[in-house]
């Protein structure tokens, strides 16, 4: 049994094995010859926040591997947490029913708490603004597929970096690979927390902070856009002030390399103009598709198969 709680728990060897397994899963899916390695297993998907891609890709991954799924998409309302049950007690009960438990929760650290009492693998599907390690894996897999390498890349994260758990999940992985350069591009209101910047400096990571996309675009191999996350704001007025501050426009694409890719964890709202979707460099729907293969691999990893 192996919990998947944080990107920081993995070493480079782990990454390479999981990426290789994801590639095998992709080939099996495309050839319709999937080995049903999770027959007689049950995967619980317990989501306290709305999700389309993460929940459904985990459920699809489990089903394709032969497992059965039990789930709730609104656990705040549709579970005994509504009555005041603790996450520890809920986890103990889920361990009676399922062989692996996938949890998304708005509170940072909740999957760590669940793992302390769990007798089954816990998979963090996003804990507030903290981390989303399985997203980090599918992002890494996407970059490797699209560029054929994970080193010597120039990568920009743009938009809402203050609450970006995707950045916090992908960056620890990319730091295993040599000569990568990072740009963090955001309005000041949504910049990375200073403690995170301090940590990067202490670790010797090469990066620059910028306030606009234009100067960085010609240098980039990867532009990773993020949405302004309304659910992270205490009041709507603060959200309204910043939601339109950072938008990738179709006109920006003329300054982007021909072989660059644009990524986004989705859902996107208004931070990428719709016309960008039709550009072959827009990789975010391919990125989402890769989530299926990666989560198949991660379910097998968590269950020791």
Going by the annotation, the residues of the binding site for carbamoyl phosphate are 53-54, 104, 132, 135, 266-267
DSSP output for 76-95: HHHSGGGGT--HHHHHHHHH
Burial class (CB in 10 A: 0-12, 13-18, 19+), 255: middle
Give me the half-sphere count of Cα atoms (radius 13 Å) on the Cβ side of residue 5. Answer: 17
Q: Under the phi-then-psi rule, with left for phi > 0, alpha for psi from -120 to 50, and beta for the rest, what region is 44?
A: beta
Structure tokens of 264?
Answer: 């986004």
- Token pair 């009041």: residue: 235
What residues form the annotated binding site for L-aspartate?
83, 165, 227
What residues form the annotated binding site?
53-54, 83, 104, 132, 135, 165, 227, 266-267
Q: Is 295 a catalytic residue?
A: no
Q: Is 168 a catalytic residue?
A: no
Q: Is 175 a catalytic residue?
A: no
Query: Which of 3, 21, 41, 53 does the annotation list as catalytic?
Result: 53
Query: Which of 83, 178, 251, 258 does the annotation list as catalytic?
Result: 83
Alpha carbons 150 and 187: distance in angstroms, whole number? 28
Q: Is 232 a catalytic residue?
A: no
Alpha carbons 218 and 253: distance in angstroms, whole number? 9
- Among 22, 24, 123, smallest CA distance to 71 is for 123
Query: Which of 104, 145, 168, 268 does the annotation list as catalytic?
Result: 104
Q: Is 83 a catalytic residue?
A: yes
Query: Which of 3, 41, 54, 268 does the annotation list as catalytic?
Result: 54
Q: Under the phi-then-psi rule, with left for phi > 0, alpha for psi from -120 to 50, and beta for the rest, what region is 126?
A: left
The catalytic residues are 53-54, 83, 104, 132
């Amino acid at each position: 049994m192996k919990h998947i709680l944080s990107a920081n728990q993995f070493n480079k060897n782990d990454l390479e094995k999981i990426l290789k397994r994801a590639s095998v899963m992709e080939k099996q899916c495309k050839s319709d010859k999937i080995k049903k390695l999770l027959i007689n297993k049950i995967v619980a998907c317990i989501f306290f926040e709305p999700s389309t891609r993460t929940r459904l890709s985990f459920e699809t991954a489990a089903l394709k591997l032969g497992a059965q799924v039990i789930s709730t998409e609104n656990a705040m309302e549709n579970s005994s947490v509504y009555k005041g049950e603790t996450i520890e007690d809920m986890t103990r009960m889920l361990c009676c029913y399922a062989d692996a438990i996938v949890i998304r929760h708005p509170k940072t650290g909740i999957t760590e708490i669940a793992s302390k009492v769990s007798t089954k693998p816990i998979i963090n599907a996003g804990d507030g603004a903290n981390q989303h390690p399985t997203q980090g894996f599918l992002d890494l897999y996407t970059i490797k597929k699209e560029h054929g390498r994970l080193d010597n890349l120039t990568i920009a994260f743009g938009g809402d970096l203050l609450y970006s758990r995707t950045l916090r999940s992908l960056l620890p992985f990319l730091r295993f690979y040599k000569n990568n350069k990072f740009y963090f591009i955001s309005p000041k209101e949504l910049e990375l927390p200073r403690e995170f910047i301090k940590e990067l400096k202490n670790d010797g990571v090469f990066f620059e902070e910028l306030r606009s996309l234009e100067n960085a675009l010609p240098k980039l191999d990867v532009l990773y856009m993020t949405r302004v996350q309304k659910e992270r704001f205490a009041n709507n007025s603060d959200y309204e002030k910043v939601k339109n501050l950072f938008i990738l426009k179709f006109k920006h694409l003329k300054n982007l390399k021909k072989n660059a890719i644009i990524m986004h964890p989705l859902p996107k709202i208004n931070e990428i103009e719709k016309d960008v979707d039709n550009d072959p460099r827009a990789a975010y729907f391919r990125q989402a598709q890769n989530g299926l293969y990666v989560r198949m691999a991660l379910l097998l990893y968590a269950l020791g198969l």
